[in-house]
Amino acid sequence: MNKKSNPLLIFYILTIYIVLQFAWWTYMLSNLNDEVYAKKTELVFSSQKTILEKNDLIDELEKKLIKKKLMIIGEGSVFILLLLAGIYKTRKSFFKELKLAEQQKNFLLSITHELKSPVASVKLYLQTLLKRDLEKQKIEQILINSIKETERLNNLIDNLLVASKIESELYPIFLEKTLIRLFIEKTVINLKTIYQDKYEIVININPELSLDIDKQAFSSIILNLLENAIKYSPINTTISIESHQENGRSILRIIDQGIGIPDHEKKLIFNRFYRIGSEETRSAKGTGLGLFIVKHLIEKQKGEIAIYDNTPKGSIFEIIF
């Protein structure tokens, strides 16, 4: 018997137990009725008591019967409620486990693919460069594509390392006062160059804004959010990073004009391995680790993250420090 089927087995056992318990109570109640009926009949035909005495005794017997019935029904209801709560919890944990197992399986499939595909692409690019005599422009394009692929691989490995450090609570945080605009400009310079023909990345942050951040964590947050904005937006759209102050708090926003996120998914997408849609229908590559990392790293720096809809379309990821 595997581990996954244990909760289901408990669920079945509890259900069978409830059914048997019900049958037992019904049997007990009907037995009680029969017993009282027999006593009443005995009383009615008894010649040693007067009619008044018989009536009193029958009343007493009926009161006792009602009392006993109420006791059995009361105790039974509490018992059933407890059992139903147990069944509900077991069932819930079973389906949760099942979902996690499914997500883990998808994660393993996608991670294998995500690790292999950039390596295969770079190999192909290098082989092309080696074999053919190409024009300068073509060579440049091949090199840009290779950098893109290695960047993707690098970010993926970073995410895997960060996620495992978060899991084992080993991620060190060193807060340093940092000029945010300058820092973000440096962080996104590579992405900006790689995607310059496809997306307009606008940084609209007060140059004086300075915050206490962990530089490594903050760059991981910005890169993950920006890569998502790119991944889930059509080309020739704008992605902006903005800042403003509200009630003494600094707010950073990453705004895209992409496919948007349905309301019921907004909380779920921060879960580990969670990806919207199914593996069959999803076209964008990914592992479901990015936003899990983003949320944890923001919280480690005492910040918060929220998602809003952009108008007319797209998403806004808001970080509050």
Residue 76 C-beta: closest distance to ligand ADP, Å: 47
Single residue of 229, 298, 316, 319 touching ligand ADP by CB under 6 A:
229
Check if the beta carbon of residue 251 is closer than 8 Å to that of residue 244.
yes
- On whether the CB atoms of residues 315 and 258 are closer than 8 A, the answer is yes
Is 223 a binding residue for ligand ADP by CB under 6 A? The answer is no
* Of 260 and 303, CB closest to ligand ADP: 260
Q: Is 16 helix (H, G, I), strand (E, B) or coil?
A: helix
Q: Report, in Å, the least distance between residue 285 CB and ligand ADP.
A: 7
The CB-of-286 to ligand ADP minimum distance in angstroms stands at 2
**Residue 60 burial by Cβ neighbours in a 10 Å radius (0-12, 13-18, 19+):** exposed
Least distance in angstroms from the C-beta of 256 to ligand ADP: 5
CB of 182 to ligand ADP, least distance (A): 24
Between 181 and 272, name the residue whose CB sits nearer to ligand ADP: 272
**Using an 8 Å Cβ cutoff, are 220 and 184 in contact?**
no
Strand 237-246 vs strand 249-255: parallel, antiparallel, or unpaired?
A: antiparallel
Question: Please, which residue, 58 or 259, has the CB nearer to ligand ADP?
Answer: 259
Ramachandran angles phi, psi of 241, nearest 5°: -115, 115
- When asked if residue 228 is in the footprint of ligand ADP (CB under 6 A), the reply is yes
Q: Do the beta carbons of residue 271 and residue 100 sit within 8 Å?
A: no
Q: Which two tokens stand for residue 75?
A: 């105790």
Q: By three-state DSSP, how is residue 200 classified?
A: strand
Both tokens of 41, joined, read: 């009949």
Convert residues 92-131 into a mask of x (bound to ligand ADP by CB under 6 A) and - (unbound): ----------------------------------------
The number of beta carbons lying within 10 Å of the beta carbon of residue 161 is 12
* Beta carbon of residue 257, minimum distance to ligand ADP (angstroms, whole number): 10
Residue 176 CB coordination number (10 Å): 11
Token representation of residue 32: 């009680």
Least Å from the CB of residue 310 to ligand ADP: 9
In the window 242-301, what residues touch ligand ADP (CB under 6 A)? 256, 258-259, 261, 269, 274-276, 286-292
Q: What value, to the nearest 5°, has the Cα angle with vertex 134 and ends 129 and 140?
A: 75
User: Which of 298, 315, 319, 321 is in the footprint of ligand ADP by CB under 6 A?
Assistant: 315
Helices vs strands, H then E, count in the chain: 6, 7
Pick 65 or 255: Cβ nearer ligand ADP: 255
Number of residues that bind ligand ADP (CB under 6 A): 19
* Minimum distance from residue 88 beta carbon to ligand ADP (Å): 29
Does 163 engage in binding with ligand ADP (CB under 6 A)? no
Please identify the residue of the shown chain whose CB is closest to the bound ligand ADP.
Answer: 286
> What is the distance between the alpha carbons of residues 53 and 59, in angstroms, rounded to a whole number?
10
Q: Which residues bind ligand ADP (CB under 6 A)?
A: 228-229, 232, 256, 258-259, 261, 269, 274-276, 286-292, 315
